Amino acid sequence: MAAKSRRRRRPRRSPDRTHSSQRAAPTLAGPLASINPVSRYTSATDADRAAMLGAIGVSSIDELFEDIPPELRLDRPLDLPAGRPETEVFDELAALAARNADADSTVSFLGAGMYDHYVPAIVDAIISRSEFLTPYTPYQPEVSQGGLQVMFEFQTAISELTGLPAANASLYEGPSSVASAAYLALGAARGRRKLVVSRGLHPHSRETLATYAVGFGAEVVEVGLEGGLTDAAALADAVDGETAALFVQNPNFLGAVEDLEALADAAHEAGALCVASVDAVMLGVLRSPGECGVDVAVGEGQPLGNRLDFGGPSFGFFAATDEHLRRMPGRIAGETVDIDGRRGFVLALQTREQHIRREKATHNICTSQALNALAGTIYLSWLGRRGIVELGELLVRRTAYARERLAQVQGVELLHEAPVAREFAVRLAAPAEAVLDRVAEDGIAAGYALGREYPEYEDGLLVAVTERRSREQIDALADSLGRAITDVGASRPAEVTA
């Protein structure tokens, strides 16, 4: 932290004290009423304070805090830097931002759940409007029809994408939505306490699920990958009569397109639910989870018109078959009419929620990600019926090109041969981190290193392609990777390469 507070130790309050953070500024016209130079978001002048204290019937602000026992009162100013004017705060934040290698200053092939898609200008223009930016959750529907209708449109879009009839109005983000699906599944399964998870599920989703499962009193069993895909034989062994749900991802974390229908069938044969974490952008071309027999589809909303934002805020989506409607987590907007018969929207099925049902609620979520879901709704309206298909096709083709191009590079081999959609995995013949550092010198973020989360794929690299990555940039990545592997490989200690 920089400069400590410049202000003197805060004395106990006295009634006639000028507020410590206020000062009278002399001007040509004489002293102004005191203006607070720090807390510019409040308006009370000394005259206001005096009048307000008078109306309350106390002689000092201190009296209003007298329920706080004296020994618990903080007897010093907070040890934080002093407040500063807007211009200085802007400069401080801009200086911090300048120390990040963002996707404008870097050609980024990073994915792993969040992708550098173009966000159309209308998204920022609309979500910046005060009417969307500043309200609370729509507890007063008569003055919240805009937000409620957006939720309704969002639910419609998610329902269309997933092929499932019941979608909610958003959860926090992807991995915690996976864990929330487990809560639903355990509630539906009545007594079954086992959750079977494919290793193709995002590591963050698996870790989050494991964290939540302690609270749920559930056991998590992992099924490995074979040839980039969920190992069907191991899966058949793992899913049994104790299993509440199977968790898979499509495309999976290594980019491979799974046989979602076969996975759902395997779950159903054992009487378990199938939960799929899906990539919403790819649902323009891939069969929908609903069509494949999936019971609950969830996913990360960032690719739909949301910023990268170093990981958040984005949103999670959650859709299910009708039979689970009353077990769903989160807000759900529903259509109704007003007393004059006008069409309107309200929060529906609120008896599921924490503010009504308390300890029997289907979830504890309150504040969710409404503004991010609005961005997603606008983005999907912008893409439209044809755009979502065209974008999916574009991604599949550019990814195929990039995969083929990289596979030709000396020192790069494919980690698996399974079909891929928007992302693929390779193995490098040199330590991944050193290669990534070298490629970064060319202004390229080559991808996501798999080694920490998948020790079995040491020096594995996950490479993502979006509509923003041109053929030329893909070629530049291939060339840079080739040079880096040669350079790093050449300097590699002999005992490691042996």
Partner 1 sequence: MSDVSVAPPAHAEAPTPQQRERALTIYEHSVEGRRAAVLPDAGVPEPALGELIPRKFLRERGPALPEVSEPEIVRHYNRLSRRNFDLDTGPYPLGSCTMKHNPRLNEKVAALPGHARLHPATPPKRAQGALELMWRLERALSEICGLPHVSLQPSAGSHGELAGLLLTRAYHADRGEARTKVLTPDTAHGTNPATVTMAGLEVVKVATNERGGIDLDDLRAKATDEVACLMLTNPNTLGVFDENIAEITRIVHQAGGTLYYDGANLNAIMGHTRPGDMGFDIVHVNLHKSFSQPHGGGGPGSGPIAVSDRIEPYLPLPRIVRDGSGNGAGSRFDLDHSGPKSIGRLRGFQGNFGVFVRSYAYISSLGGDGLTEASETAVLNANYLLARMRASRAGKYLPLAFRERCMHEFVLSGAPAKSDLDVRTLDIAKRLLDYGFHPPTIYFPLLVDEALMVEPTETETRESLDRLADAFDSILAEAESDREILRGAPYTTPVRRLDEARASRRPVIRQPLD
Residue 198 contacts partner 1 per CB under 8 A: no
- Residue 116: DSSP 8-state: -
Touching partner 1, residues 341-380 (CB under 8 A): 342-351, 353-361, 363-372, 374, 377-378, 380
> Judged by CB under 8 A, does residue 482 bind partner 1?
no
16 counts as binding partner 1 under rule CB under 8 A: no
Of the pair 222, 291, the CB lying nearest partner 1 is at: 291
Q: Rule CB under 8 A: say whether 59 interacts with partner 1.
A: no
- Measuring CA to CA, how many Å separate 115 from each of 280, 310, 404, 465? 12, 11, 21, 8
Looking at 24, 33, 68, 232, which residue binds partner 1 (CB under 8 A)?
A: 68
Could you tell me the CA-to-CA distances from 488 to 239, 410, 411, 438, 485 in Å, in that order? Answer: 44, 13, 11, 8, 5
Work out which of 12, 269, 471, 497 binds partner 1, going by CB under 8 A. 471
- Among 21, 24, 1, which residue's Cα sits nearest to residue 13? 21
Judged by CB, which is closer to partner 1: 25, or 366?
A: 366
Provide the pairing of β-strand 243-250 with 273-278: parallel
How far is residue 243 CA from its own chain's centroid?
Answer: 28
The string of DSSP codes covering 384-439 is HHHHHHHHHHHHHHHHHHHHHHHHTSTTEEES--S-BSSEEEEEESS-HHHHHHHH
Instruction: Report the distance separating Cα 122 and Cα 372, nearest Å.
Output: 14
Question: With binding defined as CB under 8 A, does residue 169 bind partner 1?
Answer: yes
Q: Which residues, 6+ apart, have CB-to-CB distance to 440 below 8 Å? A: 101, 106, 446
First to last CA, the chain: 48
Does 184 engage in binding with partner 1 (CB under 8 A)?
no
Q: Count of residues binding partner 1 (CB under 8 A)?
A: 219
Out of 239, 391, 425, 439, the residue judged to bind partner 1 by CB under 8 A: 391
Q: Does 204 bind partner 1 (CB under 8 A)?
A: yes
Is 384 one of the binding residues for partner 1 (CB under 8 A)? yes
Residue 387: CB atoms within 10 A of its CB come to 14
Rounded CA Rg of the chain: 28
Interface residue with partner 1, options 197, 383, 463, 484 (CB under 8 A) = 383
Rounded-to-integer distance, Cα 487 and Cα 434, Å: 10
Q: Which residues in the 410-469 window bind partner 1 by CB under 8 A?
A: 419, 421, 433, 436, 440, 445, 448, 452, 467
User: Rounded CA gap, 345 and 169, in Å?
Assistant: 13
Rounded to a whole number of angstroms, the minimum distance from the CB of residue 190 to partner 1 is 16
With binding defined as CB under 8 A, does residue 224 bind partner 1? Answer: no
Of the two residues 236 and 287, which places its CB atom closer to partner 1 in the complex?
287
Site membership for partner 1, residue 278 (CB under 8 A) = no
Of 34, 46, 313, 321, the residue at the interface with partner 1 (CB under 8 A) is 313
* Count of CB atoms situated within 10 Å of the CB of 16: 8
Task: Copy the structure tokens of residue 375.
Answer: 């961005």
Among 78, 490, 496, 498, which residue interacts with partner 1 (rule: CB under 8 A)?
Answer: 78
Q: Which of 200, 228, 255, 284 binds partner 1 (CB under 8 A)?
A: 284
Contact status: 394 vs partner 1 (CB under 8 A): yes
What is the distance, to the nearest Å, from the Cα of residue 446 to the centroid of all Cα atoms in its chain? 22
Determine, following the binding rule CB under 8 A, whether residue 321 of this chain makes contact with partner 1.
Answer: no
Q: Which of residues 93-152 bind partner 1 (CB under 8 A)?
A: 93-105, 108, 110, 112-114, 116, 120, 122, 124-126, 128-147, 149-150, 152
Q: Between 295 and 300, whose beta carbon lies closer to partner 1?
A: 300
User: Whose Cβ is closer to partner 1: residue 31's or residue 73's?
Assistant: 73
